[in-house]
């Protein structure tokens, strides 16, 4: 479905009410909608445009999972430049990256609302219309969930803008938005298909239940509990219930090979048992379309083969020393030195998630030389400048040893399709089955069901090659939180999680302490790695400011109190 969605994007721009600004387009009249929508196929065309909004620059191509999750205990901005200001908390209401998020999320909502309007106009197969409605409402819930998490008080728009009276919408209270999200997702759980019956790349019943588990974790969390009219205990019980709905269905399973999940994403393979919902990306520059993603380009290991037709990565993220050191290790016998012990990483995810290497030519002055992998220094302070490895465009495999006993690696491209420098074909996992167990583990812990929490936690630990959790119960909460970083790193969770737990600033201050202990000297030219820790403010940076352009265009919008 990927190419269909990409190609349909530009067709629907003329139907959108918010592709530039929520308020800058002329309203779509009801008569125009009645003229356009003649059949269910016409409505499905608009539905494809709703899916396309997930591929936009302001949503899941890069801004939400990459930019908005830089500046945490998981990843930092790797440059001293004055860009990516959200990553070190110097952004304002005029920051373009924030405006793009608002714009593209409301574009998706506009497309979903137009889809629902089209369904009310056309005649056709009732079952098919109901399925389309369930898809549109589920997608609308995804867009609103991001909006309310980022901005809190946002306009709740449920119909296309058809007249001047609703051109300037007022903001809704956060709980009103959450109630609409819940209602839309509940419709999805009632009408969407499960498992093998779901077309690859489309939303499913499992996704709707999984996102509901996210919603109720939000409503029990530090940021949203003050707005919620549902008790924390009830929220956690609902997290467990919706997680169990996915688990008990029996279709989804954990892939026993963790790196294979991401190799499949690089090859556009839909492995739907682990990846519940996958957002597809495809570089179509040859067709005059810019619909590739940026995964592996912005946030992969540094990659440069001095060739425009080979994969390239700017590597605008460093993983943090806190993240690097979060993987379980132990002294075990050294197989190469009998009688000696060696400190060894036990967690099988480490070598895939942590990029302690870069890809380059053997001879940078000779474009015909072989591709090579260069490993970075292992001193403690060097761990501050390792890269995220999860969404790599290129991979290396050990194939033997030379006469001096030095390892020989084969370096090859993972990504399939036409290669472009600045756009990638790597798909993004919006939701994986692993998250379901982690959501449940957190909720069970908060309910006091510690054995049940450990059972879910151990599902993830065991897949990583680790033994069952064996630490004291007083460390269980922090272990569950750290497990989310190890398992879900670079997938867009960490900053939202830290805000939900109310510890974003605390963790960044702890990070600064660890950086200093590693002998990283701010005066050595690495001052920029300390910016997130120095500039973050709580609770101000738990929300984004509403874009100034939107407030200027809409007299009914009021800036968040933290940003006034």
DSSP H or E run through 341: strand 341-345
What's the rounded Cα separation, in Å, for the pair 168 and 17?
12
pLDDT tens for each residue of 522-559? 888 999 999 999 999 999 999 999 999 999 999 999 99
Give the pLDDT mean for 143-171: 91
**In this predicted model, which residue has the larger pLDDT, 30 or 437?**
437
Give the pLDDT mean for 147-168: 89
pLDDT tens for each residue of 370-412? 999 999 999 999 999 999 999 999 999 999 999 999 999 999 9
Residue 209, Cβ density class (10 Å: 0-12 exposed, 13-18 middle, ≥19 buried): buried
State the pLDDT at residue 364: 87
pLDDT tens for each residue of 478-498? 999 999 999 999 999 999 999
What's the rounded Cα separation, in Å, for the pair 455 and 336?
36
What's the rounded Cα separation, in Å, for the pair 248 and 250?
5
Q: What is the pTM of this model?
A: 0.94
CA 48: distance to chain centroid? 21
- Smallest Cα–Cα separation from 392: which of 356, 352, 363? 352
Q: Is the peptide bond before 520 cis (omega within 30 degrees of 0)?
A: no
Q: Residue 83, by phi and psi: left (phi above 0), alpha (psi -120 to 50) or beta?
A: beta
What's the rounded Cα separation, in Å, for the pair 26 and 7?
24
Q: What angle do CA 120, 122, 128 make, to 5 degrees?
A: 85
**In the chain, what percentage of residues exceed pLDDT 70?**
93
Token reading at 489: 């790193």
Token reading at 215: 């919603």
State the pLDDT at residue 244: 98
- Smallest Cα–Cα separation from 386: which of 412, 363, 407, 355? 355
- Supply φ then ψ for residue 293, to 5 degrees: -100, -170
What's the rounded Cα separation, in Å, for the pair 186 and 195?
18
What's the rounded Cα separation, in Å, for the pair 26 and 19?
11
What's the rounded Cα separation, in Å, for the pair 154 and 547?
11
Token reading at 95: 């920051």
> What is the β-pairing status of strands 357-361 and 303-304?
parallel
First and final C-alpha spacing in the chain? 44
Give the pLDDT mean for 168-178: 97
pLDDT tens for each residue of 280-313? 999 877 777 767 899 999 999 999 999 888 999 9
Judge contact between 201 and 4, C-beta under 8 A: no
Token reading at 84: 């990516």
What is the number of alpha carbons within 13 Å of residue 502 lying toward its C-beta?
A: 8
Q: 17 pLDDT exceeds 60?
A: no
Q: How many CB atoms lie within 10 A of CB 413?
A: 16
State the pLDDT at residue 2: 54
Q: 14 pLDDT exceeds 50?
A: no
Residue linked to tokens 């309910």: 447
State the pLDDT at residue 24: 41
Q: What are the residues facing 278 on neighbouring strands?
A: 429
What's the rounded Cα separation, in Å, for the pair 106 and 20?
10
Q: How confident is the model at residue 165 (pLDDT cuts 50, 70, 90)?
A: low
Three-class SS string for 355-388?
ECEEEEECCCCCCCCCEEEEECCCCHHHHHHCEE
R_g over Cα of the chain: 24
Give the pLDDT mean for 68-80: 98
Longest Cα–Cα distance of the chain, Å, equals: 83
State the pLDDT at residue 1: 55
pLDDT tens for each residue of 414-460? 999 999 999 999 999 999 999 999 999 999 999 999 999 999 999 99
State the pLDDT at residue 166: 76
What's the rounded Cα separation, in Å, for the pair 48 and 62?
20
What's the rounded Cα separation, in Å, for the pair 120 and 133?
10
Q: Residue 505, by phi and psi: left (phi above 0), alpha (psi -120 to 50) or beta?
A: alpha
What's the rounded Cα separation, in Å, for the pair 114 and 147?
19
Supply the DSSP string of 174-188, one letter for each residue: HHHHHHHHHHHHHHH
Average pLDDT over the chain reads: 92
Q: How confident is the model at residue 7 (pLDDT cuts 50, 70, 90)?
A: very low
What's the rounded Cα separation, in Å, for the pair 122 and 129?
9
Where does 131-212 show beta strands of DSSP type E? 154-155, 171-172
Token reading at 367: 């474009």
Q: How confident is the model at residue 330 (pLDDT cuts 50, 70, 90)?
A: confident
- Supply φ then ψ for residue 400, to 5 degrees: 160, -165
CA 271: distance to chain centroid? 18
pLDDT tens for each residue of 81-101? 999 999 999 999 999 999 999
- Supply φ then ψ for residue 424, to 5 degrees: -120, 165
DSSP state of 66: T
Three-class SS string for 509-542?
HHHHHHHHHCCCCHHHCCHHHHHHHHHCCCCHHH
What's the rounded Cα separation, in Å, for the pair 218 and 228?
10
What's the rounded Cα separation, in Å, for the pair 40 and 121?
9
DSSP H or E run through 210: helix 205-220
């Amino acid at each position: 479905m990927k190419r269909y969605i990409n190609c349909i994007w530009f067709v629907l721009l003329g139907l959108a009410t918010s592709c530039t600004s929520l308020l800058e387009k002329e309203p779509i009249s009801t008569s125009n909608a009645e003229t356009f929508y003649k059949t269910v196929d016409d409505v499905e065309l608009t539905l494809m445009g709703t899916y396309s909004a997930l591929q936009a620059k302001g949503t899941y191509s890069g801004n939400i999972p990459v930019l908005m999750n830089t500046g945490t205990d998981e990843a930092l901005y790797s440059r001293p430049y004055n860009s990516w200001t959200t990553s070190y908390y110097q952004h304002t209401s005029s920051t373009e990256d924030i405006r793009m998020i608002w714009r593209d999320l409301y574009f998706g909502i506009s497309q979903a609302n137009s889809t629902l309007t089209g369904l009310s106009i056309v005649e056709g197969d009732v079952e098919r219309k109901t399925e389309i409605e369930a898809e549109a409402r589920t997608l609308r819930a995804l867009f609103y969930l991001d909006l309310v998490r980022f901005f809190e008080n946002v306009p709740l728009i449920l119909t296309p803008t058809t007249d001047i009276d609703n051109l300037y919408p007022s903001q809704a209270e956060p709980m009103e938005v959450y109630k609409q999200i819940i209602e839309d997702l509940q419709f999805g759980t009632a009408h969407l298909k499960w498992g093998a019956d779901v077309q690859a790349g489309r939303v499913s019943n499992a996704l709707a239940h999984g996102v509901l588990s996210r919603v109720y974790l939000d409503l029990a969390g530090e940021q949203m509990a003050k707005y919620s009219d549902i008790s924390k205990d009830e929220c956690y019980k609902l997290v467990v219930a919706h997680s169990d709905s996915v688990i008990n269905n029996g279709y989804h399973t954990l892939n026993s090979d963790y790196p294979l999940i991401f190799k499949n994403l690089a090859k556009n393979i839909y492995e739907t048992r682990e990846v519940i919902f996958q957002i597809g990306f495809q570089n179509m520059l040859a067709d005059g379309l810019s619909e590739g993603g940026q995964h592996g380009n912005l946030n992969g290991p540094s990659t440069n083969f001095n060739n425009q037709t080979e994969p390239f990565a700017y590597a605008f993220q460093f993983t943090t020393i806190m993240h690097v050191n979060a993987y379980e290790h132990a002294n075990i016998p050294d197989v190469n030195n009998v009688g000696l012990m060696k400190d060894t990483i036990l967690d099988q995810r480490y070598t895939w998630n942590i990029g302690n290497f870069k890809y380059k030519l053997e001879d940078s002055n000779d474009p015909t030389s072989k591709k090579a992998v260069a490993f970075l220094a292992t001193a403690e302070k060097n761990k501050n400048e390792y890269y995220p490895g999860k969404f790599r465009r290129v991979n290396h495999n050990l194939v033997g040893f030379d006469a001096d006993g030095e390892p020989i690696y084969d370096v090859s491209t993972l990504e399939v399709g036409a290669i472009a420098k600045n756009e990638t074909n790597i798909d993004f996992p919006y939701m994986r089955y692993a998250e379901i167990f982690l959501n449940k583990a957190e909720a069970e812990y908060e309910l006091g069901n510690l054995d049940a929490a450990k059972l879910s936690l151990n599902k993830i630990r065991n897949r990583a090659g680790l033994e069952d959790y064996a630490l004291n119960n007083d460390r269980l909460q922090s272990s569950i939180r750290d497990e989310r970083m190890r398992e879900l790193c670079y997938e867009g969770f960490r900053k939202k999680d830290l805000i939900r737990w109310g510890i974003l600033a605390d963790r960044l201050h702890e990070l600064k302490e660890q950086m200093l202990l590693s002998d990283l000297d701010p005066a050595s030219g690495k001052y920029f790695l300390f910016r997130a820790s120095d500039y973050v403010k709580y609770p101000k940076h738990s929300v984004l400011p509403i874009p100034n352009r939107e407030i200027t265009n809409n007299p009914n919008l009021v800036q968040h109190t933290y940003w006034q």
